[in-house]
Amino acid sequence: MMQSRDVRSRALPSLVGITCTIALAAWIVSSLAAAPQRGPLVLLAVAVEGPDGQLVTGLTRDTFEIVAGGVTRPVELFDAGKEQPLSLVLLFDVSASMETNFKRSVVRTAVEKWFVDRLAPRDRVQVGSFAKQISIGPPLVGNPRALLAAVRAALDPREADTLGPSPIWDAVDAAVTALARANGRRAVLLVTDGRATGNRLGVDDVGMRAAAEGVAVSVVGEDWEMTLRQEGDTGVRVRPGVALEWIASATGGLYLADRAIPPAPGPILERLLADLHGRYTLGFTPPVRDGKAHELDIRINRPGLKLRARRSYIASAEP
């Protein structure tokens, strides 16, 4: 009998400990259930330039201020440089008008010599083209040979496919859709002469959608004027580059015109890629989650610096 009582007395502390552990676990579960659940952060890719136009590195989290829908939000995530990989659509205009100025063979050589080797190992690239048809290929990561093959195929269309319209804005919209579930800094790098025809969508709608969904549109274009004949001897001058500049500005991208004769897009491609790699990534929790687009203002507290970023975001309705 004495031995039985000793066993029970030794087991009692263990039972108490188990009971306390169960009670603590139940309290933690109930507390987590009662606490508000923070949804996914809105991520922003931000480029900062100095007075000389060069990218500024070495900035810290407290350099930036985020105002979302008129409400100041704390910067909850901060990455610099290549800490965030790129998810990129390299989008080529292959319409017949491109051969007049931007020859496809020149563009192909520029990509081979100035672009592919400068990608980071984790960068994800899709190659797209548009003219009569819009085509965007599968993602490629860490495979330069496959990427070069995709670029060559995109820039070598059948002649019949180069004829007809040049739906620049529809193609950019398709690229934004292709990036919808991609991670990292999302961007479209567009090579075009800016002569947009046959579009279902307008540049305003596409630019606003790209900005709201966090896709920067950077452009290698041409800076030229053309005259459209009107009735009689009258005409109107237009500059297609204006629309390209606008969509780059609205989405936080960069527009660079190739003024070389003949065109030399290689150094421009290199600069645009460096611009995307050199950005800061900021993350914040939106003040509301309603599934709608809201205005966005990112500020910097260093005088003399210029900031490029998108101007709107979508507040996900997901909890």
Q: What pLDDT sits at residue 258?
A: 83
Q: What pLDDT sits at residue 227?
A: 55
Q: What pLDDT sits at residue 125?
A: 98
Identity of the residue numbered 201: L
Choose among 90, 60, 100, 23: nearest CA to 301. Answer: 60
Q: What pLDDT sits at residue 315?
A: 80
DSSP-based three-state secondary structure for 29:
helix
Whether the model clears a pTM of 0.85, i.e. scores above it, the answer is: no
Measure the CA–CA gap between 83 and 132, rounded to whole angstroms. 38
Residues of the chain with pLDDT under 50: 1-13, 15-37
Q: What pLDDT sits at residue 119?
A: 96
Q: What pLDDT sits at residue 146?
A: 97
Q: What architecture is the 84-276 domain classified under in CATH?
A: 3-Layer(aba) Sandwich (3.40)
On whether the CB atoms of residues 107 and 69 are closer than 8 A, the answer is no
Q: What pLDDT sits at residue 140?
A: 97
Measure the CA–CA gap between 45 and 188, rounded to whole angstroms. 13
Q: What pLDDT sits at residue 293?
A: 86
Choose among 260, 223, 265, 259: nearest CA to 242. Answer: 223
On whether the CB atoms of residues 85 and 184 are closer than 8 A, the answer is yes
Measure the CA–CA gap between 190 and 181, rounded to whole angstroms. 20
Q: What pLDDT sits at residue 307?
A: 93
Q: What pLDDT sits at residue 239?
A: 66
